[in-house]
Amino acid sequence: MRLIGSNTSPYVRKVRLVLLEKNLPHTYVVDPPSDPNSEAYRVNPLGRIPALILDDGTCVFDSPVIAEYADTLNDTPILIPRHDALARMRVKRGEALADGIMDSAVVVRGERLRPIEKQDQATLDLHLNAITRTLQHIAGQLGQREWCEGDNLTLADLALASAMIYLDLRQPERDWRSAHPNLASWFNRLSARQSVKIALKE
C-alpha cells in the first residue's frame, strides 16, 4: 500500500497513526496537492489527501474511510469496536469531534494567511470558539480515564492525538495543557507510543 499525504495535514497524520498502530506495511509518499503535479489529482477526483492506494491500484479516501478500512485488515489492535454498537458509535463520535477540531483549525489557518485587513474576525471567532468548546467537552468526558473509550487504545485516541499535534503546530498560543491538565496527561501518555513518535518526526 502507498499513502499519499503531507507532513502538515492532520488528516494524513491520523491515518499514519492508524497504519502504524496496526503494523500495516505501507509506503508513505509526501506529495501534497499544493503541487499541481501531485498524484492526488490522478487517484482521487477531489484531489485531496490522504489517499491510500492499494496494491491492486484501488484508491481509498478520505481519512475516516481509510481508518475504518485499515482497521478491518487485522485484529491487533482493534481500533473500532465491532460487536458493540454503542461503543462503536462512541469511538466514531470521538473521531468526529477530533476531525471537527481539525476542520476548524484548518479554517483558522487559512483565514490567518490572508492579509490582516482582509481577515474575517467573525469567521475566526466562530471556529476558535468551536475548538475551545470541543476541548472543554472532550476533557470533561475523558476525566481521569486512560483512554477516550473503554480500556484500550481506539481510533478516537489516535484522531484526537492528531488534532492536538495540529493545534500545537498552527495555534501554539493556545495553552490547552494548562486549561485541561487531564488532557495534557493523556497526550503525554500517547506521545510515548512509537507510532506517535514516528508521526511527530515527519
Domain boundaries in the chain? 2-71, 85-193
Per residue in 120-164, pLDDT tens?
Answer: 999 999 999 999 999 999 999 999 999 999 999 999 999 999 999
The CATH number given to 85-193 is 1.20.1050.10
Q: Report d(CA 45, CA 33) in Å as an integer.
A: 12
The model carries a pTM of 0.96
Instruction: Give the CATH superfamily of 2-71.
Output: Glutaredoxin (3.40.30.10)
49-74 mean pLDDT: 97
Distance of CA 30 to the CA centre of its chain: 17
Q: Name every residue whose Cβ is closer than 8 Å to that of residue 79 and which is 6 or more positions away in sequence.
A: 18, 21, 22, 67, 71, 91, 153, 154, 155, 158
DSSP, collapsed to helix, strand or coil, labels residue 60 as strand
For residue 202, the model assigns a pLDDT of 76
Cell numbers that stand for 42 in this block: 490522478
